[in-house]
Amino acid sequence: MPIVEAEGLVKRFGQTEALRGLDLQLDRGTVLGVLGPNGAGKTTAVRILTTLLKPDAGRAVIDGVDVVAEPHKVRARIGLTGQYAAVDERLTARENLELVGRFFRLGDARGRSVELLRAFDLAEEADRPVKGFSGGMRRRLDIAMSLVARPRVLFLDEPTTGLDPRSRLGMWDLIESLVAQGTTTLLTTQYLEEADRLADRIVVVDHGHVIAEGTADELKTRIGGERVTITLGPEADVGATVAALAPFRIDGAEPAREGRELTVGVRPGTTTPEVVRQLDRSGVDVHDVTIQRPTLDDVFLALTGHAAEERTQEEAA
């Protein structure tokens, strides 16, 4: 039985429908990535699942407990890290963690804080006010606070939005290690790359409902995966170039030619150096080689025929 199960969730804010019958399921010990553009309804869904918002229709059950009927029991089972680091800036990192521990009536809130400070690499700044923390440190503390009571499900709402690229990589490592320890996680993101790396299964959300779901590989296959674009030199032989690319090509992917640019669908994980070496060996005259990884826009284009649109209005509520 899935640990999180939502059926037909509907939520309206005035005239706008943030959710129009959203379904999702999360199995114990796995990571579900909820992928969609701003305003797709991701945050609204998380807020309903974490009891912060009541749905207008539909139902959601977490660990066998209905979120509307028994929110208190649900809250004892979940950890939530929202889009904005929910830490008390005036307190130190240690005090923030102890506060949550005391609210949960942990026998040893102090000891638990020390454990988490070490695990989240915050031990050295434990007694500094959070006000001076970097975005990445705040986010780490925020997640640590969500884990004080060892929740059965962890909700991470856009955990890397607003982080610089280095902190984003650090956050990915951290989430991966949480997942490795068996933390069941529901993660929302706008980045296909992030869902690809962290999630076992992905649901793609658009305009308040799920438009596709599957593993990252399944989705990529549906949208054509990665593409390599080659800028041919004046002497280049198109036929030889296509032949040279055969080892990387996805079966049945037709090369597309536009002027001096040749684009071919390639298997996931193909790297630029590999392609360059292969072309070199074949003696093809090439000016440039680039690999495009599919983005959220590609997913949307493939699935809906339109690019990912922002609908900020809905999520502002």
**90-98, 191-199, 275-283, 300-308 -> range binding other proteins (CB under 8 A):** 90-98
Q: What's the min distance (Å) between Cβ of 213 and other proteins?
A: 24
DSSP calls for 35-82:
E--TTSSHHHHHHHHTTSS--SEEEEEETTEETTT-HHHHHTTEEEE-
Q: What's the min distance (Å) between Cβ of 282 and other proteins?
A: 43
Task: Name which of 130 and 212 has its Cβ closer to other proteins.
Answer: 130
Name residue, tokens 């207008």: 56
Verify binding: residue 150, other proteins, rule CB under 8 A.
yes
Q: How many Å apart are CA 41 and CA 210, to the nearest integer?
A: 10
Are 92 and 128 a contacting pair, CB within 8 Å?
A: yes
**175-183, 215-223, 248-256, 262-270 -> range binding other proteins (CB under 8 A):** 175-183
Q: Which residues pair with 5 in a beta bridge?
A: 25, 61
Q: Residue 71: is it exposed, middle or buried by C-beta count within 10 angstroms (0-12/13-18/19+)?
A: middle
Distances (CA, A) of 271 to 20, 222, 289: 40, 21, 10
Could you say which residues in the range 18-77 bind other proteins, by CB under 8 A?
A: 43, 47, 50-54, 63, 72-73, 75-77
Q: Is 236 helix (H, G, I), strand (E, B) or coil?
A: coil
Task: Name which of 32 and 149 has its Cβ closer to other proteins.
Answer: 149
The size of the interface with other proteins (CB under 8 A), counted in residues, is 56
Q: Residue 127 is encoded by which pair of tokens? A: 């007694």
Are 253 and 264 a contacting pair, CB within 8 Å?
A: yes
Could you say which residues in the range 107-136 bind other proteins, by CB under 8 A?
A: 115-116, 118-121, 129
**173-181, 203-211, 236-244, 256-264 -> range binding other proteins (CB under 8 A):** 173-181
**87-95, 207-215, 241-249, 284-292 -> range binding other proteins (CB under 8 A):** 87-95
Q: Radius of gyration of the chain from Cα atoms?
A: 23
Task: Name which of 47 and 227 has its Cβ closer to other proteins.
Answer: 47
Task: Enumerate binding residues for other proteins (CB under 8 A).
Answer: 43, 47, 50-54, 63, 72-73, 75-78, 80, 82-91, 95, 99-100, 102-105, 115-116, 118-121, 129, 145, 147, 149-152, 173-174, 177-178, 180-184, 315, 317
